[in-house]
Every structure is written in C-alpha cells, then in structure tokens.
Amino acid sequence: MKKITKQIILFFTTAGIGNIICILLAINKKRKNLRNNKKTIDSKFNEINQQTDFYYNSYQENLALAKKYEKEYNFDKALLHCRLADNSIMKIIELNAKTGIDMEYLTPPRMYESQLLVKMNRLDEAIKVLNTSKNISIYKYDTIFKDTIDKTLEDLQKKKENGYIYKPRNRH
C-alpha cells in the first residue's frame, strides 16, 4: 500500500510540476508577445510623431512663404503655399486619427486661402473654400470659428452681388 501511495503521490507531483511548467511557459510566452506588441505600438507612435513633426514644420514654412508672397503681391505663389499648408494640417489630422487622437481642433488656413482668392478676384472659389470649412468638425464645436466662417461667407456673397473687384494699393 505504501508503494502505491508513493507512486500516486509521485505521479500527481510530477504531473503537477509539468502543469506548472506549462503554465509558466505560457505566461512567459504571453509576456513576450505583449512586449513585442508594445514595441510595435511604440514604433508606430514614434513614426506617427515623426510624420506629424514633419507636416507641422511644412505647415509653418508654407504659411510663412504664403504671407511673404502675399506682401509682394504674388498671389499665385501665396495661394500655392497656403494650400500646401492646408494639406499639411489635414495630413496631421489624418495621421493622429489613426492612433485614436482627435486633432480636428486644428484649423486649416481656409480663411486665409479665401482672403487670397478675394484678392485674386476669384470670389466664387473663395466661397467654395469657406463652404468646405463647414465639413471640419471644429465648425460644429467652436462657435467662434463657425460665426467667423458664416459672417465671412455672408460678406463674400454681398461682395459678389455688388460686383466687388480687388484693387491693390500702390507699392512704395
């Protein structure tokens, strides 16, 4: 009887040790997978942060160039750089949306773009640009932004009805 008891105890002990080893190996494997996933997630966040930095710098540089060209009455180049700045902001919003971060409080320079179009006597395009601003989520949440867009659209409609033509000042 003692021999059978020893064998039964030995069987359950070795089986128990085997189960414990299997459980420990499974836990270790799970931890390793979690670490690998965390590294993958961290690398994705780092990549998105680098891309966001790139597009933000591009936004700033293009907006500065647009303002410089506007001062020189070179509205075509100013408009080009303004639109490039707009694209950069939209790209930042898109990249951060992939990570679950809502960056739509950023406002693309649509007001500035419409001002340039008015100076180029392209009122219809300026109105279209401002109407696209109504599709940005900040239009729904920020009453100041919404009121500004709506008031500017109203002013542009009046200018269009009155046959407004932009006449630049003489350069000094």
> pTM score, two decimals?
0.69
What's the token pair of residue 153? Answer: 């659209």
b/e sequence 7-30, b meaning 16+ C-beta within 10 Å: eeeeeeeeeeeeeeeeeeeeeeee
Q: Which domains does the chain have, with CATH numbers?
A: 2-161 (1.25.40.10)
Coil vs helix vs strand at 75: helix
CB 138 within 8 A of CB 104: yes
pLDDT band at 107 (very low <50, low <70, confident <90, very high): confident
Q: What is the mean pLDDT of the chain?
A: 79
Over residues 87-101, the mean pLDDT reads: 80
pLDDT tens figures, 144-154: 888 989 999 99
Give percent of the chain above pLDDT 90.
Answer: 37
pLDDT tens figures, 32-70: 665 666 666 667 777 878 888 898 899 999 999 999 999
